[in-house]
Amino acid sequence: MRSLPGGLGNLFRVLRLAETPALGLFARNLYAFKSIQSHVGCGGRPNYSVSEYISTSASLTKVLDFASLKAKNDAEVVIVEIDVGCLRRHGIPIVDLRDATKQQLPE
């Protein structure tokens, strides 16, 4: 994994069963206008309405931990690595929650 400007290396995600990486990753509802706090706090709950965010982690260790929990319920768990440089080249905003100010990362 290479380190990119801003100190953020690539990101990792445990895919939902309906996600196919070859088709791209998409938020479930781009027009939901949920708060980041709501997405993080409630996003995995069954009755939570979908948001415009896609959860990822910069820590492969944390993603593997999450995947092991998910594997208890799902037949197959797929983890993808996301190139942050590619996201930036396409103007996709990244919110880094490792920073308590929850600021969008600089371009």
pLDDT tens track for 8-57: 679 999 998 888 989 989 888 889 888 888 888 887 777 677 888 889 99
31 falls within a domain: yes
CA dihedral 90, 95, 96, 100 (to 10 degrees): 160
The total of structural domains in the chain comes to: 1
Q: Is residue 19 in a domain? A: yes
Q: Is 9 helix (H, G, I), strand (E, B) or coil?
A: strand
Instruction: Assess whether pLDDT exceeds 60 at residue 106.
Output: no
The percentage of the chain sitting over the pLDDT mark of 70, rounded to a whole number, equals 81
Residue 51 falls inside a structural domain: yes
Q: Which amino acid appears at position 107 of this protein? A: E
> Model pTM?
0.76
Structure tokens at 91: 């103007």
Range of the domain at 61: 11-89
Indicate the pLDDT class of residue 104, thresholds 50, 70 and 90.
low
Looking at the domain assignment, is residue 64 inside a domain? yes
